[in-house]
Amino acid sequence: MNNFNLVLGASIAFTLTIGHSIQACDTWVALPDVTASGVTILAKNSDRPTFDCQPLLMHPRQQWEKGATINTGRVTIPQVDETYATIGSSPYWCWGYEEGMNEHGVAIGNEGIATKALAQDLEALANGEGPDLGLTGMDLLRLGLERGQTARGALDVITALLEEHGQFGSGLPAMEAADGAYHNSYIIADPNEAWVLETAGRRWVAKRLRDGSTSISNTPSIGAQWDLASSDLVSHAQSMGWWPKRTVDKFDFTLAYGDTGPRAIQQRAMSLPRAVCSSGLLQDRAGAIDPRWMMRIARDESSSPPINLDRTASSCVAVLPKSDDDLPVFWWAPSVPGDSCYVPFFVHGGELPEIVSAAGTQGRAVRPPIGVAPDSFADESYWWIFRDLHDLASGGAVNRTPEVRATFDALEREFEQGLPVIIEKAVALRNSGRFNEASQTLDAYTEACLERTIAKAYELRSTMTEENEGAVPSQFAPYLGVYNTTHKRESHTVKMQGGRLAIDTSNQRVFELLDPDESGRRQFAITDQVSVSFMHDEAGDVIGMVYHQGGMNLECWRDGYEFPAEVTAQGVQALLGDYRFAQANLDAKVFVDRGRLAVDVPGQMIFVLRQGEAESEWVSRATDQIRMTFQMDAEGVVSTMTIMQAAQPVVFERLAGDN
């Protein structure tokens, strides 16, 4: 029994279902033969935690001194002599981009995927043998744009850096690698072609597209046909036992490297409907795909889960023309595209307005993700203005998105109609060597579009704020508020969304609830595997809620409610302290949590306990299938703690100094 996670696998099922590690993103591309104007168009929805503000950044072409380096917040790598001008959106704590474009008309979007190589790294981490930190997929995306003149060139940059520096660590703010790590897939496009690149640790495989369209989501998609791969892709899979040696000629990357664990299976189940939906919408409009259709795909809600997710942090539509008489355009919308507005930005412009590059209360700075505090609303942040607008539009008794769409659809059409004249003028200026004037022309158009967009956003927010006050139906009002979980140090908020009760888990997304069944349980609209019920006191007031999943019943107490204490620190003093399961190099702490005995197992959960039948036995309040017993030596001092699940004991030794 070398892996403690296997012993307590059932106990962490809840955090796998709605916790940090289930990824969501979508990227799709249409090549010139299927677009209305004969250009390449790449689009992406970037899905992140709901507080993960994602400003838009621009970096000009730059020469670098010999020996210059890049600090990505987790690793430092050498800089090259020259980097190309780029534009892209970047989480407020991150060096890299979630999506972006460079001055040569190369655009990239990436996805988080689960692989056997990642599962192997996470197991090593749990055993104290984890790999060194590496680059994030976002870092590699920006590096590819800064150093690649073509899609193939950017692919070569990314794969070379991947093989040299690896990819490991959290890609999500305020989370350790165990919760926020993922491997990456990409679509890399230029005016002539596109590449799908999928990675697993330092290994990779790539497929070239010369025509047509394709889409990717959060699961490997390259099977037995590809064009390029790392040199030891097949042999490594065979050495790890992921692929039989006798069928080399039928090697399938997804089957060999794709993770098959419960979390990966669920992620695939959430990803495939979105990928199928975007692919189908691309095929429906083949030959006539334009930027407006790509925006339509980004806002689609016909799949389950939808492409237009509550947790979408930004969306882009990158138009990559071949002609020298045209310029690439980076249409960008902050927050959820269904309640946002695409505005045209230009990598050939001079600078971005400060408001679009501003984060919220935490500000923007490159830092390791684990030390990052959640960002929150600030009026000077364009991103937060639209996050707030989305919450207002979807959080009242009536869904206000149709009103938002009527307003912003009209603006987007006007912006698009005005583009040809502006681009023609900027191209003429550039061709005559007047580059600064060309940049100023492009910047002025973006600023004019932004001014109108911001004015409409403020107008909509003001109207919705007034109308939402007191608009909560009486049957929902008693449940609204903040609830503190006991199994994790987190707060969840019960709110209104789309005329339903919903739970905002703060670090993942908002989950709408169905009406209660006869037992009072409200099933998640997105899955029948999770439900919640509410706890009441004798007066009938709501004091907490319980998550139900897989035999687990996890309590969350309403903020401000003080439940009766069951134990005191003095009464259980003999049990308190630090313990270690040496076989897995895993520590646990026994402590009193708000009047209840609890065991904190880092990386898994906090087990809140109740007294069992025997004096030395304690039972998890979440499930009676998990029990703790404490063993004493001849002098009556606790020496070990045994955690029992499914008749499998795991013995933790009491650390010295705690007796």
User: How high is the pLDDT of residue 22?
Assistant: 63
pLDDT > 90 in the chain, percent: 74
* DSSP per-residue letters across 285-338: TTT-B-HHHHHHHHT---SSS-SS-TTEEEEEEEEE---TT---EEEEEES-GG
485/341 same-domain check: no
User: How high is the pLDDT of residue 126?
Assistant: 86
Residue that finishes a domain, picked among 503, 530, 558: 558
What pLDDT band is residue 108 in, cutting at 50, 70 and 90? very high
What's the structural domain count of the chain?
3
Task: Judge whether residue 468 has pLDDT over 70.
Answer: no
Task: Judge whether residue 189 has pLDDT over 50.
Answer: yes
123/169 same-domain check: yes
Range 529-541 average pLDDT: 93
- Calculate the CA 356 to chain-centre distance: 21
What pLDDT band is residue 12 in, cutting at 50, 70 and 90? very low
User: How high is the pLDDT of residue 241?
Assistant: 95
Instruction: Extract the tokens encoding 457.
Output: 């956003």
User: How high is the pLDDT of residue 394?
Assistant: 83
Region of poorest pLDDT, from 7-21, 355-369, 515-529, 553-567: 7-21
455 within a domain of the structure (yes/no): no
246 vs 98: which has the higher pLDDT: 98
Q: Specify the pTM.
A: 0.80
382 within a domain of the structure (yes/no): no
Instruction: Extract the tokens encoding 355.
Output: 């408001």
Range 352-376 average pLDDT: 94
129/223 same-domain check: yes
Residue 28: which of 288, 296, 390 has the closest Cα? 296
225/258 same-domain check: yes
Task: Judge whether residue 480 has pLDDT over 70.
Answer: yes
User: How high is the pLDDT of residue 508?
Assistant: 53
Residue that finishes a domain, picked among 368, 387, 407: 368
Task: Judge whether residue 21 has pLDDT over 70.
Answer: no
User: How high is the pLDDT of residue 5?
Assistant: 43
Task: Judge whether residue 20 has pLDDT over 50.
Answer: no
For the ranges 15-19, 398-402, 504-508, 639-643, the one whose mean pLDDT is highest: 639-643
Range 623-633 average pLDDT: 91
144/178 same-domain check: yes
Distant-in-sequence, close-in-space partners of 252: CB < 8 Å, separation ≥ 6: 223, 224
Task: Judge whether residue 348 has pLDDT over 90.
Answer: yes
Say how far apart CA 100 and CA 317 lie, in whole Å: 10
Side chain identity, residue 21? S
Domain that holds residue 230: 20-368
pLDDT tens-digit readout, 277-328: 999 999 999 999 999 999 999 999 999 889 999 889 999 999 999 998 999 9
User: How high is the pLDDT of residue 2?
Assistant: 40
What pLDDT band is residue 18 in, cutting at 50, 70 and 90? very low
441 within a domain of the structure (yes/no): no
297/263 same-domain check: yes
Task: Judge whether residue 10 has pLDDT over 60.
Answer: no
Q: Which value, to the nearest 10 degrees, does the dihedral of the CA atoms of residues 147, 149, 153, 154 take? A: 50
User: How high is the pLDDT of residue 9?
Assistant: 36
Say how far apart CA 29 and CA 216 lie, in whole Å: 9
For the ranges 393-407, 429-443, 524-538, 638-652, the one whose mean pLDDT is highest: 429-443
Identify the residue whose tokens are 């390259």: 222
Phi-psi map region of 377: left, alpha, beta (phi>0 left; psi -120 to 50 alpha):
beta
User: How high is the pLDDT of residue 131?
Assistant: 92
Domain containing 544 — which CATH number?
Answer: 2.40.128
Range 19-40 average pLDDT: 87
What pLDDT band is residue 48 in, cutting at 50, 70 and 90? very high
Say how far apart CA 106 and CA 146 lie, in whole Å: 10
User: How high is the pLDDT of residue 11?
Assistant: 34
Average pLDDT score, the chain:
91
Instruction: Extract the tokens encoding 373.
Output: 């505090």
User: How high is the pLDDT of residue 657?
Assistant: 64
Range 185-189 average pLDDT: 98
Task: Judge whether residue 456 has pLDDT over 70.
Answer: yes
638 within a domain of the structure (yes/no): yes
609/528 same-domain check: no
Region of poorest pLDDT, from 3-12, 29-38, 555-564: 3-12
Say how far apart CA 87 and CA 348 lie, in whole Å: 9
Q: Reply yes or no on whether 316 is catalytic.
A: no
604/552 same-domain check: no
Helix 435-468 and helix 401-431, axial crossing angle in degrees, nearest 10: 170
Task: Judge whether residue 523 has pLDDT over 60.
Answer: yes
Task: Judge whether residue 6 has pLDDT over 50.
Answer: no
Cβ 64 vs Cβ 79: under 8 Å: yes
What is the 3 state secondary structure string of 236-294?
HHHHCCCCCHHHHHHCCHHHHHECCCHHHHHHHHHHHHHHHHHHHHHHHCCCCECHHHH
Say how far apart CA 36 and CA 135 lie, in whole Å: 37
Task: Judge whether residue 199 has pLDDT over 90.
Answer: yes
Domain containing 185 — which CATH number?
Answer: 3.60.60.10
* DSSP per-residue letters across 585-652: TEEEEEEEETTEEEEEETTTEEEEEEE-SSTTEEEESS-TTEEEEEEE-TTS-EEEEEEEETTEEEEE
User: How high is the pLDDT of residue 7?
Assistant: 40
145/204 same-domain check: yes
Distances in Å between the alpha carbon of 503 and those of 88, 407, 528?
Answer: 31, 28, 15
50/199 same-domain check: yes
Catalytic position from the list 25, 316, 341, 449:
25
Identify the residue whose tokens are 């099922």: 13
Side chain identity, residue 149? Q
542/607 same-domain check: no
What pLDDT band is residue 19 in, cutting at 50, 70 and 90? very low
What pLDDT band is residue 469 in, cutting at 50, 70 and 90? low
Say how far apart CA 45 and CA 281 lie, in whole Å: 15
223/92 same-domain check: yes
Residue 170: which of 142, 133, 201, 204 has the closest Cα? 133
Say how far apart CA 403 and CA 338 lie, in whole Å: 11
User: How high is the pLDDT of residue 97?
Assistant: 98
Region of poorest pLDDT, from 159-163, 266-270, 278-282, 463-467: 463-467
pLDDT tens-digit readout, 120-177: 999 999 888 889 999 999 999 999 999 999 999 999 999 999 999 999 999 999 888 8
Say how far apart CA 390 and CA 404 lie, in whole Å: 9
Say how far apart CA 593 and CA 600 lie, in whole Å: 10
pLDDT tens-digit readout, 569-625: 999 999 999 999 888 778 899 999 989 999 998 767 899 999 998 888 999 999 988
Distant-in-sequence, close-in-space partners of 325: CB < 8 Å, separation ≥ 6: 424, 427
396 within a domain of the structure (yes/no): no
Say how far apart CA 52 and CA 138 lie, in whole Å: 14
Say how far apart CA 12 and CA 625 lie, in whole Å: 13
Task: Judge whether residue 1 has pLDDT over 60.
Answer: no
Domain containing 578 — which CATH number?
Answer: 2.40.128.50
239 within a domain of the structure (yes/no): yes
User: How high is the pLDDT of residue 247?
Assistant: 77
Residue that finishes a domain, picked among 523, 558, 593: 558
Range 480-493 average pLDDT: 86
420 within a domain of the structure (yes/no): no
SS3 434: coil
User: How high is the pLDDT of residue 470?
Assistant: 57
336 within a domain of the structure (yes/no): yes
Residue 316: which of 289, 343, 290 has the closest Cα? 343
61 vs 126: which has the higher pLDDT: 61
Task: Judge whether residue 658 has pLDDT over 60.
Answer: no
